[in-house]
A and B are shown apart, each in its own frame.
Chain A
């Protein structure tokens, strides 16, 4: 797209409003279409009124408390990890920072099984612990990002005026909204997860979560009933997201182009280093290590020593699961690319809107496809797209790309909005004065300035698309995928094939981030007090 001057008499601001509206409508059309069959039930008060029943109310409240506990653990683990990785001056901090997003890419069930395999842990507290660990990278990443944007002057003023203590306190204040937002996201993800709770629920204290109640309706193919049952979860998740976005809009300063320096903690560096290594070990190294160890454990594949069995398991995984993984990658790439087209306009709108209720409400509306249960979203996609009107589209590989992009574009939107918000508005205003159209400004200037974030947004959707199971089961073009193969084999036996295939999927999921890191290069430590 070339930079074009708006024609005389065509006010670029009005034109901008029109194209913004079109862009937003395009996103809502893609992301909300699969929601349409269930939307009335999903947003109905009927679903909420079902909480009058004591059994459901107790189940719902316990699930909310369960999700809150998971969010608390995620924040307690993630926030210090993010701070240490992003801002403490110690050897290997850059590597720690690079590893932060990786645990998020592992399926929670895989992490749960690894911890159970290692420790034999069980029951609700174990499920809480594992889900907290699974989602700890969310607050960690957001905290790291927030601290990377802290004003350099504000940090140096704190160092000068109050030493390490005040500097750390100032960092904590700067990172607090990010930690809360990360915790809120952990809350939302935990709220809809029943696989981990189900897994840990077999022994000792048996417990159930509300999403199982929702699932019982899907089992009966009662999609409206399922949506109605899911309404309280969606309402709670929407409310949490709304207030988190509202609170997160507080000005915590920063936004500078340069990253503030790392802080030396003196002897505290050893403690911080040990803590950082312990935390990253808990959320990443231990689960992955266990999976790798299991590739050489007993199972149907290979004989002899551990190394021989492990090698045989990887060969078998590549042979049997390789084509599925390839298809998943193609679908994920298409979904990621679509998200890169869809996300900029709503992200730009969110970034430019004045903080407040309207902005938060738009955020919730954009996030709705993510808040709705995946099974309902998939059934909705079938009801909407399985028509003569769409011809072969329903059976094509494009359908899952579109549906997966619809579901996960909100993640790309939020990521991109946060980065676009960091750009000064003056560049945009200068372009408007020069008569350059708003689409040109967005695509050629703002996105170009945040190209790593834009690519990362696409990569994020790619990763979540590859990880997605419920939609892969339901959508014709996505069924022969790595997720279906993995979970299918996992049910049958947790053997060395499953471990090797899980490790292969994890490696593929790590790839976008690894590539981004390779492109960006490891940042050298910044020297300062």
Chain B
């Protein structure tokens, strides 16, 4: 049996006197989808940043495809070597780079030759409907276009694990549905595992897969999304109980 794509053991993180995560355990098979749900401020985004290697844990360890990625006080695998990409809550686009360079520059930084990088970027932008906007900067994109660009940037590097930090939080239901359609389409092509954090049952339902509730610094057992996300009340109860 192959190693899980993501394995977390006893993960803890403290900010000053506030213990945000206190012994998180989690295992995620390759290609799986997981929603991490929880109330605001429980440490959902912190968990993603730890998995991405943007922060180091105070205790515990993180393994990615069997390789030790982080342990207490240290980031063993640097973020850019983990095969993990992330779509940030605020999208975190680069204001002075064109749409095209949002994709080409990361590829170049990973050693992809210029011509190949341009070709891969062009293909990804075409797939996400951004082909006509290659020279624009983020400031001149609509909200939906900017979101697609954030996805394109994360996916062009063909990550094994995609982290989504409330990527559709501020969208109306129609735009959100379109966003999930887009996500389905690209995931079908890349087969990447996905961890998404949210406190919205509709988003969890749209992603499918399992739901892990983060509460009091730890994760409850992973439950299937079906019954938990069926209605607002059951989801809210799960977050609060």
Contact = CB atoms under 8 A, between A and B. Distances in A.
A166 interface: yes
B109 interface: yes
A417 B106 CA distance: 35
B128 to A, nearest CB: 16
B90 interface: yes
A163 B88 contact: no
B54 A166 contact: no
A529 B78 CA distance: 7
Contact of A162 (B53, B86, B88, B109): B109
Contact of A161 (B53, B96, B106, B139): B106
A205 interface: no
A253 interface: yes
A157 B153 contact: yes
B96 A160 contact: no
Interface string A203-222: 00000000000000000000
Interface in A139-198: 151-154, 156-166, 169-170, 173-174, 176
Contacts of A166: 105-106, 109
A527 interface: yes
Point out which of B75, B84, B88, B108 has the most chain A C-beta atoms below 10 A from its C-beta: B88
Given A174-B96, A527-B56, A529-B78, A156 B109 contact: no
A157 B86 contact: yes
Contacts, number: 89
Given A163-B78, A166-B106, A529-B54, A252 B95 contact: yes
B76 to A, nearest CB: 12
Contacts of A253: 93-96
A251 interface: yes
Contacts of A151: 90, 92
Contact of A169 (B53, B55, B105): B105
Given A153-B90, A173-B97, A162 B78 contact: no
B110 interface: yes
Interface in B99-153: 105-106, 108-110, 139, 153
Interface residues of B, number: 33
A164 B79 CA distance: 10
A160 B109 contact: no
B92 to A, nearest CB: 3
A250 interface: yes
B94 A159 contact: no
A160 B79 contact: yes
B148 to A, nearest CB: 15
B157 A161 contact: yes
Nearest to B52: A160
Contact of A156 (B49, B105, B110): B49
A163 B85 contact: no
Given A160-B79, A161-B153, A251 B92 contact: no
A426 interface: no
A523 to B, nearest CB: 14
Nearest to A159: B79
A483 B105 CA distance: 52
Contacts of B88: 153, 156-157
A3 B107 CA distance: 54
Nearest to A256: B90
B214 to A, nearest CB: 20
A310 B56 CA distance: 51
A119 interface: no
Contacts of B110: 162-163
Interface string A452-466: 000000000000000
B92 A156 contact: yes
B139 A251 contact: yes
Nearest to B138: A253
Contacts of A170: 94
Contacts of A319: none
Contacts of A173: 94, 96-97
A457 to B, nearest CB: 27
A528 interface: yes
Interface string A109-152: 00000000000000000000000000000000000000000011
A435 B220 CA distance: 48
Contacts of B95: 154, 251-253
A162 B105 contact: yes
A143 B56 CA distance: 27
A163 B105 CA distance: 11
B27 interface: no
Point out which of A158, A170, A261 has the most chain B C-beta atoms below 10 A from its C-beta: A158
B22 interface: no
Given A162-B80, A163-B109, A156 B90 contact: no
Contacts of A163: 78-81, 109-110
A528 B70 CA distance: 12
Interface in B26-78: 49, 52-56, 75, 78
Nearest to B165: A153
Point out which of B91, B108, B109 has the most chain A C-beta atoms below 10 A from its C-beta: B109
Point out which of B54, B55, B86 has the most chain A C-beta atoms below 10 A from its C-beta: B54
Interface in A253-303: 253, 261
Contacts of A252: 95-96
Point out which of A157, A173, A251 has the most chain B C-beta atoms below 10 A from its C-beta: A157
Given A251-B139, A527-B55, A529-B78, A154 B105 contact: no
Nearest to A526: B55
Contacts of B78: 163, 529
Contacts of A158: 94
A67 B55 CA distance: 44
A154 B95 CA distance: 9
B118 to A, nearest CB: 16
Given A173-B97, A252-B96, A527-B55, A160 B91 contact: no
A161 B78 CA distance: 11
A143 to B, nearest CB: 15
Nearest to B95: A253
Given A156-B49, A161-B157, 19 more contacts: A153-B92, A154-B95, A156-B52, A156-B54, A157-B86, A157-B92, A157-B153, A159-B79, A160-B54, A162-B80, A163-B78, A164-B80, A165-B109, A166-B106, A251-B95, A253-B94, A261-B54, A529-B75, A529-B79
6 nearest CB pairs, A to B: A153-B92, A162-B109, A163-B80, A253-B95, A161-B106, A157-B92
Interface of A: 151-154, 156-166, 169-170, 173-174, 176, 250-253, 261, 527-529
15 contacts: A153-B88, A153-B91, A156-B52, A156-B79, A160-B84, A160-B85, A160-B86, A161-B157, A162-B80, A162-B109, A163-B78, A164-B80, A250-B96, A253-B96, A527-B56
